[in-house]
Structure 1
């Protein structure tokens, strides 16, 4: 991860693009979770089935392959936030931290999904519970 520090204006300028990337990641994780549930249900039904043959090909191979590909896509999307110097703290709801500075102190500029812009920050060891309003926000 880069050691970039963002100004408030830089972080806010990046926010619309990151919101789009976050929305895509949220959709991807939702679909992944639905497909995992579907696979579990299918495997459960298959295990109870008395009609399966011992020489049946793996009926789950294709879905398991799709899930592995989706898992890699999710990991790449998460890493993309890191490559940009942004910390993705939560996917649902979206929570992003941008390393920055307030009053000469290293902090994390904090954005939560639903907020129009970045208006809060917290210390590196305070977390979301320690959010404070940015001066002048």
Structure 2
């Protein structure tokens, strides 16, 4: 499998942009969830109402269309992570992996939202629970 790999310096240099994109995505997901919940409540009230409340199926169509557009925007934000070569593992809290080669092994440099910089890594099959601190004496291969 061919994938972009990062040095530790490259991954840390990309973090400010990744953090900004993550915050945008989190806000978008929150807005989608809130709007979806409101729409579901309105639909339930409409179905239960014996009298017309003024809201109709056209209003629901407009709201559903707006939600679809918001979802497309969120998908675009999601795809931006992949285009940069990073792996978004979790949106909230943010968990991002950067493919890398460390001491000759394919690893993932691991960053969790709230951390100042990347200080951990794990194997491709280890996941977050297998995180290890990046050793001071370890060598990162030249890659890309």
Instruction: Please state which band the TM-score falls in when normalised by the shorter chain.
Output: over 0.9
Relative contact order (alpha carbons < 8 A, sep ≥ 6): 1 or 2 greater?
A: 2
The residue number in structure 2 matching 1:63 is 63
Identify the residue that residue 36 of structure 1 maps to in structure 2: 36
CA shift in 2, pair 1:92/1:57, >3 Å: closer
**Which ranges of 4 or more aligned residues in structure 1 deviate by more than 3 Å?**
none
| Normalised TM-score (structure 2) | 0.89
Counterpart in the other structure of 2:131 = 131
1:94 maps to 94
> For residues 35-60 of structure 1, what are the alpha-carbon distances to aligned partners after superposition, in whole Å with 9 as ceiling and x for unaligned?
0100010000000011139xx55330
- After TM superposition, give the deviation of residue 102 of structure 1 in Å: 1.3
Structure 2 Cα separation of the partners of residues 59 and 130 of structure 1: 49
Residues 75-129 of structure 1: per-residue CA shift (max 9 Å, x gap):
1110110011000000000000000011110000000000000000000000000
Other-structure match for 1:78: 78
Q: Provide the aligned length of Structure 1 versus Structure 2.
A: 135
Is structure 2 residue 86 aligned with structure 1 residue 105?
no
What RMSD, in angstroms, separates the aligned Cα atoms of the two structures?
1.7
Which residue of structure 2 lines up, in the alignment, with residue 7 of structure 1?
A: 7
Structure 1, gaps ≥5 residues long: none
TM-score of the pair, normalised by structure 1: 0.94
